[in-house]
Structure 1
Amino acid sequence: MAGGLVALFDDVALLARAAAASIDDVGAAAGRAGVKAAGVVVDDTAVTPQYVRGLSADRELPIIRRIAIGSLRNKLLVILPAILLLSQFLPWLLTPILMIGGAYLCYEGAEKVWHRLSGHHDDHAAGEEAMPDEKTIVSGAVRTDFILSAEIMVISLNEVASERFWSRAIILAVVGLLITILVYGVVALIVKMDDAGLRLSQSSKKGVAAFGRGLVKGMPRLLTALTVVGTAAMLWVGGHILLVGSDELGLHAVYGVVHHLEELAHEATGALGGVVGWLVNTFASALVGLAVGALIVLVVNLTVHRRKAHAAGGTGSH
């Protein structure tokens, strides 16, 4: 009996060690996948604060919470099952689907640039700041997040493609959860920094008060900068998705030119070659994103928006 119990305890200990090793493997794989997706995570963090700009302070965190929940729902309930099934049964579909999302990001970024250059931005901004539609804000942010989340999850999937199906599922779920917490935690800190600065500015200690006043004065500039970075990120990520996707589909010309320029910059700049090469690739991706996005904006303005204006004019005449 005693021997049987000892054998049982040995088996339990062996299983526990195997489970611990498996958890370590999952953690390591999730870490590798998360690092690979870090570029898109930065983009996601830069894009999101623009959606709560101009809102009253008491509405910022509730809206960020709703966007974060929508982002987590995107990753775990829609994207994760979809990419796991596609990677298992129809892996060739992943690239075209991702490219459609990349084109949408290009459109969003180019539309923001168009509104800024045409002066429409200021007209719309006044109305939005007077009475922002919370549902529209959240749905727009979650829609953009969907594309960025898909990119994050597909990049992560590529890193763990050799794992078994259920291991991939667990790793990607961990990556999705941790990245969502990281992105929206940082976003919440960014948008509440002015409130923290206001409290610090009321401190009796001069140094703390001066730091608080600096935060309050600097936050509008930071949010403006993040809006610009967020728009650039949409164009960069969208353009990069299209470049890489077209190369994977056998259309090597454009990606080949960008890759060649990246290699030339890398070789010409010595120790800084990695950084300069990355900048060349990023700039080229953004240009591609802007060109594709501008074309889509033109088509949409000539079709969808024109029909809407015509319908509104017809309704008004009655």
Structure 2
Amino acid sequence: MATGLLALLDDVSALVKASAASLDDVPAQVSKTTGKVSGIVIDDTAVTPKYVVGLDPSRELSIIYRIAKKSLINKLLILSPAAFLLGFFAPWAITPILMLGGAFLCFEGYEKVHAMFSKHHADEHSPEDHLKTITPEELEQTRVKSAVRTDMILSAEIVAITYSTVADNPITTQIAVMLFVAVLITVVVYGFVGLIVKADDIGLHMAQEKNHRQVRNIGKGIVKFMPGFLSFLGYIGTAAMLWVGAEIIAHGIPFTSHALHNLEVALADVPALAWLAKVVVSALGGLILGFLIEKVVVLVRRMF
């Protein structure tokens, strides 16, 4: 009996040591993973503010909190478990699912570009239609749903990359890294989004007469700078949707994946130019793909 108990304790001790050793590797794996997903994190940060701009300023932080909460829930309770299950039972399905998400990003990005440049976009509905269509509360709800939907796709890419990075590690390391990356990226992205959206309020506070002249000048500069910056960020966010969506699809097709890789290799002597070329090619490809998807969607709607 004593011998069996000692053997059991030895097994428990070995398991604890193995778990501790694997957990020691978590910071390195988190660092490695965040480096790989940094581009998507930047895209997510650029995309989100446009969903908040134009709404009641007093509701901005509340809206960002709602989006961030849903984003974290999606990462922890839906996407991460789905990645584990698919990785175990159907690893072949991960890439097609991500490509569908990429196609949706291209479609949504194209619709936003079309809305920007269509001369007749503003005349599609009469003023009376606009007045009776939506209330501020409904607009807020629509914006939150749209932001969460876009974030879901970007988060799925982040989770997929994270899982692929730690797939060969012990299960404790996989779970810990997935957890840390989900929380860290959500906090960083929406922390920056909150700072960007409320920067004009910070500038107004700094511009008050009670502050030092230099502080007031900086505050006034922030207030003048932010409207143009937010508009620019909106364009960057739309371009990012096209870029990321097309790149997700390209990586799922061997021919296009090799073509992007060869483009980077050809310009490897100038890393910034190689990155820019890949972004431009991906964004243009995403725009074309979004156009084609939009035509298919219109055809299907007419049929049904």
TM-score, with structure 2 as normaliser: 0.87
The residue correspondences of 1:88-99 to structure 2 (distance < 5 A) are 88-99=88-99
Query: Which residue in the other structure is 1:111 paired with?
Result: 111
User: 2:215 aligned with 1:208, yes or no?
Assistant: yes
The residue correspondences of 1:1-318 to structure 2 (distance < 5 A) are 21-119=21-119, 122=122, 131=136, 133-202=139-208, 203-247=210-254, 252=255, 254-266=256-268, 270=269, 273-304=270-301, 306=302
Q: Higher RCO, 1 or 2 (CA under 8 Å, sep at least 6)?
A: 2
CA–CA separation in structure 1 for the residues paired with 2:257 and 2:59: 43
Of stretches 232-241 and 31-40 in structure 1, the one that deviates more from structure 2 is 31-40
For the aligned residues, what is the CA RMSD?
Answer: 2.6
**1:54 and 1:129 in contact (8 A); partners too:** no
Name the CA shift for 1:257/1:23 in 2 (closer, same or farther; >3 Å). closer
Name the CA shift for 1:238/1:168 in 2 (closer, same or farther; >3 Å). same
TM-score, with structure 1 as normaliser: 0.83
Structure 1 segments (4+ residues) deviating >4 Å = 12-21, 120-130
Query: Structure 2 unaligned runs (5+)?
Result: 1-11
Where 1:133 maps in the other structure, the secondary structure is: helix
Aligned-pair distance for 1:282?
A: 1.5
Query: Structure 1 unaligned runs (5+)?
Result: 1-11, 309-318
CA–CA separation in structure 1 for the residues paired with 2:121 and 2:49: 17
Counterpart amino acid of 1:285?
A: S
CA–CA separation in structure 2 for the residues paired with 1:36 and 1:228: 24
CA–CA separation in structure 2 for the residues paired with 1:245 and 1:29: 24
Where 1:171 maps in the other structure, the secondary structure is: helix
Aligned-pair distance for 1:135?
A: 1.3
Aligned-pair distance for 1:207?
A: 0.5
Count the aligned residue pairs.
287
**1:98 and 1:241 in contact (8 A); partners too:** yes
**1:235 and 1:287 in contact (8 A); partners too:** yes
Of stretches 58-67 and 14-23 in structure 1, the one that deviates more from structure 2 is 14-23
**1:98 and 1:151 in contact (8 A); partners too:** yes
Matched-pair identity in %: 47
Counterpart amino acid of 1:263?
A: V
Where 2:54 maps in the other structure, the secondary structure is: coil
Aligned-pair distance for 1:119?
A: 3.7
Deviations 1:231-255 (A, max 9, x none): 00000000000100112xxxx2x33
Counterpart amino acid of 1:34?
A: T
Aligned-pair distance for 1:79?
A: 0.4
